[in-house]
Chains A and B, each alone.
Chain A
Amino acid sequence: MISYILKRVIATLPVMLMVAIVVFAILRLTPGDPAAILAGDDASGEQLERIRQMMGLDQPILTQLYVWVRQLLTGDLGVSLLSNTPVIQMIGARVGPTLSLALSTIIFTVLVAVPMGVIAARRPGGWLDRTVMTFSVLGFSIPTFVVGYLLIYWLALKLGWFPVQGYAPLAKGVWPYAQRLILPTLALSGIYIALVARMTRSSVMDVMGEDFIRTARAKGATEWSVLLRHALRNAAVPIVTVIGIGIASLITGVVVTESVFNLPGLGRLVVEAVLARDYPVIQGLILLFSFTYILINLLVDVLYTAFDPRIRY
């Protein structure tokens, strides 16, 4: 098991290097002089030269790559063109809300969607199943920002249970922190709950047709024990896969949700950096998101082996 995890971790290193090189290349392959793009239309030749030197663009390309990778290894993502603060500091300042939102969404999704799927699979075609499936269709089809605004209108403006927007770090107390996370979490989870509940339902139903389910019933096991002990664990691999894919695509969802609820997170930082053409920040964020993808994939692969002893790579 340990050696397997170690192998997987080592196998991700080349992937990470590839990502770094691609991110490096994006800026260099942009048509024209990146320094000119950065400096804007009315920059003097002297300013351009200064920017080139600052970015190391006057060096040979391989030297530039070497410097870039070496900087990465020391955690140096460069300096923002706009605010002149190191990118790593900017990310550090904004990572809190995003991480909180992502984690709460994942936890809420799993806690709600997996039981929903199992309940639906217990009697396919029954009223519980149809309710779950209806909710699932709604979750898929209503865009996150619509759900977000509806929740704000109803729960924040009408009932006044939650603040309309904003973020409070955990340091300011658990309740203010949670109070401001609940609505964004609800809004963002909808689609993931729909996805995971559907997947749970169909893979549990598949497993319920297997022979060992009949064996469990022949042992005298109750229907719940059959569902939870025998069916759910066998259904886990596709469910974990979908949750993994969901987390990866959460990043897009975060951008929208953070804008709707005005959370000062990474999603908003992406929008700000793109609008301001702050290339070092964009680079840093792409790198961060890519590495997160890779780590999630690694985690999913490791979870497979925990759920299914037959999987050994």
Chain B
Amino acid sequence: MSNLHKAEAHGVSPVLEVRDLSVSLVGDNSIGVVRCVSFAVRPGETVCVVGESGSGKSVTSFAVMGLLSPNELACSGGEILLEGENVLQAGPERLRALRASTMAMIFQEPMSALNPVETVGKQIEEVLSIHKNQSKRERRERVLAMLEAVHLPDPKRIYNSYPHQLSGGQRQRVVICIALILEPKLLIADEPTTALDVTTQKQILLLIRELQEKHNTAVLFITHDFGVVADIADRVVVMNRGEVVEVGSREQILSAPRERYTRMLISSVPSLQPEPREPNDNEIVLAVSGLSKTYDQRRFWKKEHVVHAAADIDLTLRKGEILAVVGESGSGKSTVARCIVRLQDPSAREITICGENMATVRGQALHQMRKRVQMVFQDPFRSLNPRVSVGESIIEGLINFGTPHKTACQRARDLMHLVGLPADALERFPHQFSGGQRQRICIARALAPEPDVLIADEAVSALDVSVQAQVLALLDDIRMKTSVGVLFITHDLRVAAQICDTIMVMRQGRMVEFGPAAEILTAPRQAYTQALLDAAPGRHWDFQKFGPIQ
């Protein structure tokens, strides 16, 4: 920050200046994917470009790097000035020389951003061999120093490792090495922490900040997460449908946005402060005790290796209650859900749903139990059969359980009304709906057989914040109207705070903490829960009230 103020005070010229940039589909100039976008990034400054999916934020960043896929998108107007040089005019050779040395990029998914069949050391070294005339030994030493600088343990071992042998956070550190080894003036970070767990995200954000301060790098940070914006941005560019809605300092955008769209977007971010909830003493619809699931890998020669995906999980869910199962990736939260619906068979267990044991039923009895528990999945684009009409998807379960066709259709129409979609949606096919609408359809489908328990596995994670807010409101509404018990699996504490009565925190297959949402989120007893809360980006900001949390 101090660097930034110095830069502004001395009137330092920006590292990157985008002027009236337009990007359109190849062969059709009339369709602008990005239209007349302008902003600037100065040395030492972090500019966050924030927007929902389809806003053109990633396209803009790829245009700067000259990495738009040549057969699909092309810049159709404006200029991109990198230290005063228009990169849109630069030939392929010049562009290659600028990449990594003057402008560099880190990507969303570190696993796929690295070549899986080459050691990470060689991949970092490649940058040096492209741009510098150094001996093999010098290159190797520089790479090891860089691995050290991004705080990777045992750089020599990491140097010879393949990407699949590293964790997600370590891989992203390697990608950062590749981007920053030549100390570029501009770093473009395209959602670099979206695929990472919160605690890892916090470390990566700190690392980017540390390296930025060391070399006074200008950072263009693409994100959809206002929490991250609140933590790292100096200035913010809000984009929507290919256009810049608003540009301003972090304080101005977060506390006094001028545009209605920005205001809507920011107020959609769920608050970490749980709303006060009435204690729920309805009857118990789901009781799980001692649920365990182990996977063992049997090898031909070696002895088997046992993984405890879930160990000794106890939980109870009451009518009309929303229980969040919160944890990072690999914590076993989805395993618990899958065992309860019996998509997987638990290893040791007792799962009682309205008094009947779900864990051991088989055959016809299991079939009958299926309608008591229904599930909503993460990705609404893949969880609906694209060749079956929405109506048929919804009534399929009912028909399977012997409901007459006419009654089932009537129920489907009622459900459409319940989830806020028009009844004629039943005739249409999934591809004709947006992501949020599809998730509504999935919820309607799950509710069709009037289940006692609804399991939502990361059901809002794939949705943009504004749509997410609507779907969360819908779930809350449905809970009130139908008093179904909801088991809500999520990695996002904000979402949990928004709609849950109780929270269970999981880590490495074990339950860390279980209790009322207000208690867990404001006065956690376990250090791990506290660490999760601390890592949640933007935890000091109340987005709905446009001010810091009191």
Contacts and interface: CB of A to CB of B under 8 A. Distances in A.
B433 to A, nearest CB: 27
A79 to B, nearest CB: 41
A215 B178 contact: yes
B482 interface: no
A222 B164 CA distance: 26
A233 B175 CA distance: 20
Contacts of B277: none
Interface string A195-226: 00000000000000011101111111110010
B186 to A, nearest CB: 12
Interface stretch (B39-47, B98-106, B397-405, B517-525): B98-106
Given A218-B104, A220-B99, A222-B96, A211 B109 contact: yes
A215 B114 contact: yes
A7 B299 CA distance: 12
A220 B130 contact: yes
Nearest to B131: A220
A307 interface: yes
A233 B179 CA distance: 23
Contact of B164 (A215, A217, A219, A310): A310
Contacts of A173: none
A194 to B, nearest CB: 26
Interface-central residue, A211, A215, A309, A310, by most chain B CB under 10 Å: A215
A211 B117 contact: no
Interface string A89-102: 00000000000000
B348 to A, nearest CB: 31
B457 to A, nearest CB: 26
Give the secondary structure class of A's interface.
helix
A230 interface: yes
Nearest to B130: A220
Interface in B84-137: 96-101, 104-105, 107, 109, 112-118, 126-127, 130-131
Contact of B178 (A210, A219, A230, A308): A219
A234 interface: yes
A154 to B, nearest CB: 41
A215 B163 CA distance: 14
A218 B105 contact: yes
A144 to B, nearest CB: 35
Question: A212, A220, A234, A308: which has the most chain B beta carbons within 10 Å?
Answer: A220
Given A234-B117, A309-B117, A219 B130 contact: yes
Contact of B126 (A7, A219, A233, A308): A219
Interface in A279-313: 307-310
Contacts of A216: 115, 126
Given A7-B300, A211-B107, A233-B117, A217 B67 contact: yes
Contacts of A230: 115, 118
A210 to B, nearest CB: 6
Contacts of B118: 230, 233
Contacts of A211: 107, 109, 112-113
B113 A212 contact: yes
Contacts of A212: 112-116
A219 B115 contact: no
A308 B178 CA distance: 22
Interface residues of B, number: 30
A230 B112 CA distance: 13
Contacts of A229: 126
A105 to B, nearest CB: 28
Contacts of B162: 309-310
B37 interface: no
A218 B116 contact: no
Given A215-B107, A220-B99, A309-B162, A234 B113 contact: no
A220 B101 contact: yes
Contacts of B301: 7
Nearest to A217: B67
B99 A215 contact: no
Contacts of A219: 99-100, 126-127, 130, 178
A218 B117 contact: no
Contacts of A217: 67, 99
B518 to A, nearest CB: 41
A223 to B, nearest CB: 8
Contacts of A234: 115-117
Contacts of A220: 96-101, 127, 130-131
B288 interface: no
B65 interface: yes
B99 A218 contact: yes
A221 B115 contact: no
Contacts of A221: 96, 126, 130
A218 B115 contact: no
Given A219-B178, A220-B127, A214 B113 contact: yes
A307 B115 CA distance: 12
A230 B113 CA distance: 12
B97 A218 contact: no
Nearest to B128: A219
Contacts of B130: 219-221, 225
Tell me which of B107, B113, B127 has the highest count of chain A C-beta atoms within 10 A of its own C-beta: B113
Interface in A227-261: 229-230, 233-234
Contacts of B105: 218
Contacts of B175: 215
Nearest to B111: A211
B110 to A, nearest CB: 9
Contacts of A7: 300-301
Interface in B304-339: none
A252 B101 CA distance: 55
Contacts of B98: 220
A184 B178 CA distance: 50
B257 to A, nearest CB: 33
A216 B113 CA distance: 9
Contacts of B127: 219-220
Contacts of B178: 215, 219
Contacts of A233: 117-118
15 contacts: A7-B300, A211-B113, A214-B107, A214-B113, A216-B115, A216-B126, A220-B100, A220-B127, A220-B130, A221-B96, A230-B115, A230-B118, A308-B117, A309-B117, A310-B164
Interface of A: 7, 210-212, 214-222, 225, 229-230, 233-234, 307-310
